[in-house]
Structure 1
C-alpha cells in the first residue's frame, strides 16, 4: 500500500504545481511604482575671489518638468578666483582638479556620464573680459580643457551677466524659502596705515574709474595707494556709482530702473551676508536697524589698519575692502533700493537655507533641469496583501505535505529489526 502511495507522489506534486501556476495567473495584479533613481548635476561658481563647486541631486522622474533639486555636497577650490590666473591660464584649470576629484567620489560611478557639469563665471571674469578679452578667453579655454577630461557631461564654461546672476539668485532664494573705488595717491575706503602698490593701467581699466582716465599716461607705472580711513569721502565716492537724476517711470531705484515700493520679506546672501556677518561677529556691532547699520559702517571705515588686524588676524586678505563693501551695501539698501526702517526689518542675511547654500548656482541648476529629460518611472507587478497571504499559505501547505510523505517513505524503507 505504501509503495502505491509513493508511486503517486511525483504526479501529485506536478499537479499541485500546475494548479498553483494557474492560480497565480488568475490573481489580480497591479503596477507598483518603484522609488525613482537620483540624478546629479554639478555647478562651479567661479567668483571674483574664489571658486565653489556645488553638487545637486533630484529624483530622476522630476515634478512639473523641474527637478526637485537639493544640495548633495560642496567643495571650495583652493586659491583665488579663475580670473586671478589671467597671466597663467593653465593654473586656472589645475586649481579645479581637487574638487573635481571629490565629485568623482560623491556622484555614483554609474551616474557619471549622465551628470551635467557647468561652470559659471561672475564678477571677476566679467571685469577681465572688459579689460582683456583675450586673457578672459584663454582662462575659459584652460578650465574647459580640464573639465572635459572628466567623465561628466560637460555643458560649457560661460561668463554670466550681472542680470543672469541676479535672476538665478532670486530663484534660489525663493526656492529655498570688487572693484568699487580705485584712486591715485590715496584711498578713502581703505583703513589708515594700509597701503598697496598697483599698476597705473589697472587703476584706469576699472569701469569705476574709466571716466577719470587721462588721455596719456604710462600704464606700466607703479603707484602706491594708501588708506586714509575717511568715511565721508568714501560715501561720496560710493554714491557716485548710482544715478538718481533720470527716471522715465513713476518711480525708480537708480540708473533709471523702475522699482515699486519695497515691501515683504527679503534674503540678503553672498556678499551681503559676509559683509553683515563681519560687522556683527568680528566687529561686534549691532546692525538690526538702518540707523545701526549706518553707524556700524562709519565705525569700520574709521578703523586703522592695525586696529582691524588686531580684531581679525585671520582675514588679512579681505580686511582692506570691508569698509568699501559695507558702505556699498548700506547705500544700496537705504538709498538705492529705498528701504526704510520698517522694510529693513523684513530683510534677513543668510549663508544657507537648511543645508543648501543660498546663491545663483542652485537657481542655475533649477533652470537647467528643465532641459534634462525625465526618466520614465520603473514599474513592477504586485498583488494585494490578501492574495499574497493565500499563496504563501498554499505553498507552505504543499511543502509540509511533501515533507510528511518523504518522512513516511524513509521510515518504510528501513529494514525490519531482527528478533
Structure 2
C-alpha cells in the first residue's frame, strides 16, 4: 500500500513518531501522531491552552499503526548481522504509513527492554551497533548522532525497568487526564506493572513526603501554552517478583518443606500444592531448592489441592517482608518506598494485573478484593478435568474466555491464535497468579481492603466506585486496565507524549524538554542508573567522519582507523611501561630462579662439613684442636680477620662460617652479621643445627656465606657447583707456602 500524501486533510500539519518496543519475545513497532503544536495553537482561537498535545494513533483507521515480528532482538546476541533482515519488515511497514516528505523529521526509536538487559555488555554493544547501522543507512527517519549513550544516541538504546515505569506513569496519567488540575482530581494516578520477571511501581508522593525524599525523578512536560508542569515521581522495580519467577521461588519453597519432613522410606516425590487446581499433576524440577537432601533438586510431582486460602498463606513469605530495610520505610524485600496515602493516591495496574483479573474472572476494571478472592477460590477448588471440559466447550463455541481470543469490531473472529499450550499454561497458573497479585497488592504495597462489616457477597465491579466514595476513598483505590478508548496503555505512549511536548514552542529562558533520566544533573547521584554500552569505535568515527578524508574512512579501509589507533596507543603504552620496569622485572626473575640454587648450594656445604640435614650427625666442634686447624679457623673467622677488605674477585675466599666466639659461648655475638650473612640466613629445624651453624644473634637461625653468590663480588655460582658434596678436600697450598 503506498504511503499517504500530505494532500489528505487528516495529514495537514500532522507530526509522527515511531517507537519499536524490542522486548524479550518480540519487537513491536507502534506509530503515533499528533498535530503540530503551532497549528494546534492557531486552531484553538486563543482559548485555554493549558493541556498537552493530543497524541493519537499513527493511522486514521484500522490497526495499521502497529505491527510485530518475532522473536526478540536479544536472540541475535551471537549473530548480530541477522538484525538487518529481522528489522526490515518493521522498517518497511513504517515507510508505508508515514509520508516520504515527513520522514526526515519523524523521530524513530528502538528501545530494548528485558531481553537485552540479560546479555553481556559486549553482546549488547554489537547488537545495538548493527541495529543503529541498519536504521541509519536504510531509512530517512530522524535518528540521533552518536553520543556517550550509544552509537545512535538516545534513538537506539536499552532502557531500565525504572524508565519503563516512568514512561508507563506518563501514559496512564495522560490517558486518564491525571495531569489536568481540578478540584475533584487533585493528584495524579499511580502506576503498577507486573510481568513475568519483575514488578514495578511509580507514583507521585504527597508534597510533605516529596520534601523529605531525595530519590525522586523529575518529570517535565510542556503544555501547549508553553507553560511547564513538573512532577516528582518515585519509581522502583522488584526483580524476581514477577509471576513467573515468584512461582519458581514458590516451588523451591514447598519442595524444601517436603524434603524436610519426608520419610526416608518414601520412594515417590509427591508434593501437594494448594496453588494448583484440584487433581492437576505437574512434574517440575525446583530451581531454588536449598534443602541439604540429595533429592531436593530432583524432579517432583506436584499435585493440586485447590485451596486458595492456603495458597495465600504459602505465598505470603515470598514477599520477604522481614528483609533488612536500610532506608525506612520499606514495603517488601527491603526496598525503600515513600509512604503512600491511599485516600489521595489511586493506582492503575496493567499487564498481569489486567490479564489475571479479566481473562479468567472477567473482573477487569475497578477492583474489589472480596469479589476477586471469591472468584479465585471458586476457580481453584474446581477439578482440573472440569476446567478442561469448559475450555474445550469455549473453543468449540468460539467464546474462549482468556488468552488466544481475537476480537474485532465487537465480534470474536478467531480463537486459540497463540496456541493451545499458552492457554492451558494460563489455566494451570491462574490460581497461583491470583494469590500472588492479592498478596502483592495488600501485603506488599499496603492497599487497604474495602470490606463491609456484614461481609461483601453481592457487590459487583460497577458498584465499587460508589462504595469507595461512601468510605471516604473517592475514586477506586486500584483498578486494572488495558486500554483507554482505543489506545492501549503502554510505556511507548509515555515516550511519545514527551516527544510531542518537546515540539511545543518554549517560553523565554526555558530549558529543553528531555527524558527524565537525561534531566538528572549528576547521574552518580541518580536513583536510576542508565544502561550504557561499552566503547564503540565505529560510533566515535561516525561522529568525526565528516572531518576525515574519504580514503581514511572505515568503509574505504575496511577497518576502523579509530580502533586501530586506540590499540596502537595501548600497545605502545604497555611496551613503555615494561621497558621502564625491565630492571625490576629481571631482578625479580633472578631472585626466583637463584633462590632454588642457593638452597641447593647451602645443603652441599652443610654435607661437606659433616652436618646432618635431618637432625643426625655431630654438632659443630666447640674449638679446633690441632694447630693447623686453629690456624685455618682463624683465617676464615670474620671476626679475626683484618679490617682490610678482600679485593674484588679474590680467589682466596672459600667459605665463611660463624665466629668461634659464637660457637664457644652460644650467646649473641657483639658483631653484627654482614649483609651477605643476613641474606643467606635460613631457619634451623627446631632443636637442631639443621644443615648449617646456629647463630644465637639471629634467633637460632643458620647463616651461610657462599662464594659465588650474586650478592658477592664475583657474581658466579660456578665455584659452588664444581665442588663435590661428598668431598672435604681442601688445597692447603694456598694457605701454607712451600
Question: Which bracket does the TM-score occupy, shorter chain normalised?
Answer: 0.5 to 0.7
> Quick check: 158-167 or 232-241, which moved more?
232-241
Q: Is the 8 A contact 2:80 2:130 kept in 1?
A: yes
Identify the match of residue 316 of structure 1 among 411, 421, 435: 421
Task: Give the structure 2 partner of residue 261 of structure 1.
Answer: 341
Identify the match of residue 296 of structure 1 among 370, 375, 387: 375
Secondary structure of residue in 2 paired with 1:53? strand
- The TM-score, its normalising length taken from structure 1, stands at 0.61
Q: Is the 8 A contact 1:276 1:349 kept in 2?
A: yes
| Alignment of 1:153 onto 2:142 | yes
- Residues in 2 aligned to 1:72 and 1:78: alpha-carbon distance in whole angstroms: 18
| Alignment of 1:193 onto 2:284 | no
Q: Structure 1 residue 275: deviation in Å?
A: 2.1
Counterparts of 1:142-291 in structure 2 under 5 Å?
Answer: 142-148=130-136, 149-154=138-143, 155-177=154-176, 178=196, 179-180=244-245, 181-182=247-248, 183=251, 192-195=280-283, 203=287, 209=288, 227-229=302-304, 232=310, 236-237=314-315, 239-243=317-321, 245=323, 252-254=330-332, 255-264=335-344, 265-281=346-362, 288-291=367-370
- Residues in 2 aligned to 1:50 and 1:248: alpha-carbon distance in whole angstroms: 38
Distance change >3 Å, CA 247–CA 285, structure 1 → 2: same
Identify the match of residue 13 of structure 2 among 14, 27, 37: 37
Structure number with greater CO (CA < 8 Å, separation at least 6) is 1
Distance change >3 Å, CA 301–CA 176, structure 1 → 2: same
Q: Is the 8 A contact 1:246 1:256 kept in 2?
A: no
Q: Is the 8 A contact 2:358 2:364 kept in 1?
A: no
Q: Is the 8 A contact 1:48 1:122 kept in 2?
A: yes
- The TM-score, its normalising length taken from structure 2, stands at 0.37
Q: Structure 1 residue 252: deviation in Å?
A: 4.4
Task: Give the structure 2 partner of residue 101 of structure 1.
Answer: 92
Q: Structure 1 residue 285: deviation in Å?
A: 10
> Quick check: 245-254 or 357-366, which moved more?
245-254
Q: Structure 1 residue 159: deviation in Å?
A: 2.5
Q: Structure 1 residue 241: deviation in Å?
A: 3.6
Distance change >3 Å, CA 103–CA 327, structure 1 → 2: farther
For these two proteins, the number of residue pairs brought into alignment is 320
More helix by share: 1
- Residues in 1 aligned to 2:272 and 2:114: alpha-carbon distance in whole angstroms: 22
Q: Structure 1 residue 40: deviation in Å?
A: 0.6
Distance change >3 Å, CA 316–CA 323, structure 1 → 2: farther
| Structure 2: runs of 5 or more not aligned | 1-10, 42-49, 60-64, 144-153, 177-195, 197-243, 256-270, 396-415, 451-467, 507-738
Q: Structure 1 residue 67: deviation in Å?
A: 4.2
Distance change >3 Å, CA 161–CA 242, structure 1 → 2: farther
Distance change >3 Å, CA 98–CA 251, structure 1 → 2: same
Q: What do residues 367-416 of structure 1 show as CA deviations (whole Å, max 9, x unaligned)?
A: 234445769xxxxxxxxxxxxxxxxxxxxxxxxxxxxxxxxxxxxxxxxx
Task: Give the structure 1 partner of residue 624 of structure 2.
Answer: none
Q: Is the 8 A contact 2:21 2:492 kept in 1?
A: yes
Q: Is the 8 A contact 2:366 2:476 kept in 1?
A: no
Secondary structure of residue in 1 paired with 2:360? helix
Q: Structure 1 residue 365: deviation in Å?
A: 1.6
Task: Give the structure 1 partner of residue 631 of structure 2.
Answer: none
Secondary structure of residue in 2 paired with 1:77? strand
Q: Structure 1 residue 213: deviation in Å?
A: 7.6
| Structure 1: runs of 5 or more not aligned | 1-34, 204-208, 376-419
Give the root-mean-square deviation of aligned CA atoms.
Answer: 4.2
Q: What do residues 18-70 of structure 1 show as CA deviations (whole Å, max 9, x unaligned)?
A: xxxxxxxxxxxxxxxxx971111011223344433221112223578964322
Identify the match of residue 489 of structure 2 among 352, 358, 361: 358
Q: Is the 8 A contact 2:319 2:444 kept in 1?
A: no
Q: Structure 1 residue 292: deviation in Å?
A: 2.5
Distance change >3 Å, CA 364–CA 310, structure 1 → 2: farther
Counterparts of 1:58-73 in structure 2 under 5 Å?
Answer: 58-61=34-37, 67-73=53-59
Identify the match of residue 116 of structure 2 among 111, 125, 144: 125
Q: Is the 8 A contact 2:315 2:436 kept in 1?
A: no
Q: What do residues 126-150 of structure 1 show as CA deviations (whole Å, max 9, x unaligned)?
A: 3x24xx4444445544544543333
- Residues in 1 aligned to 2:84 and 2:384: alpha-carbon distance in whole angstroms: 35
Distance change >3 Å, CA 163–CA 304, structure 1 → 2: farther
Q: Is the 8 A contact 1:45 1:53 kept in 2?
A: yes
Q: Is the 8 A contact 2:103 2:141 kept in 1?
A: yes
Q: What do residues 68-110 of structure 1 show as CA deviations (whole Å, max 9, x unaligned)?
A: 3222243241434434555665666644443432221111121
Task: Give the structure 2 partner of residue 12 of structure 1.
Answer: none
- Residues in 1 aligned to 2:498 and 2:81: alpha-carbon distance in whole angstroms: 30
